[in-house]
Amino acid sequence: MAQAAPQPSNTVLVGKKNVMNYVLAVLTLVHQGVNEVIVKARGRAISKAVDVAEIVKSRFLPGKVAVKDIKIGSQTVTNPDGRQARVSTIEIVLAAQ
Amino acid sequence: MAQAAPQPSNTVLVGKKNVMNYVLAVLTLVHQGVNEVIVKARGRAISKAVDVAEIVKSRFLPGKVAVKDIKIGSQTVTNPDGRQARVSTIEIVLAAQ
């Protein structure tokens, strides 16, 4: 897979690692004082991005973080064999309360 | 797995079938004149629910259907061995334009 583009410092890009890696990344940003953390994912990692948001919101920072916005979209990716394919994306904005 | 609860007639519950089954279900409701279709899923099917919404919106009904609202949440489910587990949920509201 191609190297992911660098993400802005308030963004957590959810991929193939265990869900708790991304939960910890979000918690670290919040504890650094970032007011809005954007949890992004595409394809099958979308379910995991929702898990990250829900675990942060209900288990680690209940009442302190809320889902402010959710956007879904599509990206076109080129497979290794040259075919173009559509892949879904999600962006979940978590805001400190 | 327990039988799913009956869904209201404007709801499509995304599960283990191929994505096109659910796309067709949404298109059928829209063509019946339903103004808002709710695409629901939980767990790993969440990614597929986003695919369903994106495919309907951009491939089949471009300009005619828009994402009106997206909610995420958590449910507690009891595993066959009696343990309780958290599972994420999503509801995507597609509205006819």
Chain A touched by B70 (CB under 8 Å): yes
In angstroms, rounded to a whole number, what is the distance separating the alpha carbons of residues B49 and A71? 13
State the sign of the Cα–Cα–Cα–Cα dihedral A63, A65, A67, A72.
negative
DSSP code of residue B4: P
Tokens of B15: 């599960």
Q: Kindly provide the ipTM of the predicted complex, given to two decimals.
A: 0.88
pLDDT tens digits along B27-36: 999 999 999 9
In angstroms, rounded to a whole number, what is the distance separating the alpha carbons of residues B81 and B50? 31
Question: How far A15 CA sits from the closest chain B CA (Å)?
Answer: 13
The verdict on a CB contact (< 8 Å) between B47 and A47 is yes
Chain A residues whose beta carbon lies within 8 Å of the beta carbon of residue B45: 47
Q: Which residue does chain A place closest to B69, by CA atoms?
A: A70
The SS3 of residue B16 is coil
Look at the pTM and tell me if it is higher than 0.95.
no
Q: Which of A91, A81, A78 is nearest to A40 (CA)?
A: A91
Chain B touched by A25 (CB under 8 Å): no
The separation between the first and the last C-alpha atoms of chain A, rounded to the nearest angstrom, is: 37
Work out the number of other CB atoms within 10 angstroms of the CB of residue B59: 11
User: Does A95 score more than 70 pLDDT?
Assistant: yes
At B6, is the pLDDT very low, low, confident or very high (cuts 50, 70, 90)? low
pLDDT tens digits along B50-86: 999 999 999 999 999 999 999 999 999 998 899 999 9
Chain A touched by B85 (CB under 8 Å): no
pLDDT tens digits along A3-33: 566 656 899 999 999 999 999 999 999 999 9
At A86, is the pLDDT very low, low, confident or very high (cuts 50, 70, 90)? very high
- The percentage of residues in chain A with a pLDDT greater than 70, rounded to a whole number, is 92
- The percentage of residues in chain B with a pLDDT greater than 90, rounded to a whole number, is 87
At A94, is the pLDDT very low, low, confident or very high (cuts 50, 70, 90)? very high
Provide the total of helices (H) and of strands (E) in chain A, helices listed first: 2, 4
Predicted local confidence at residue B79, as pLDDT = 86
- B28-37 long-range contacts (CB < 8 A, ≥24 apart) are B30/B56, B30/B61, B30/B64, B30/B65, B30/B94, B30/B96, B34/B9, B34/B10, B34/B96, B35/B95, B35/B96, B36/B10, B36/B68, B36/B93, B36/B94, B36/B95, B36/B96, B37/B10, B37/B11, B37/B12, B37/B93, B37/B94
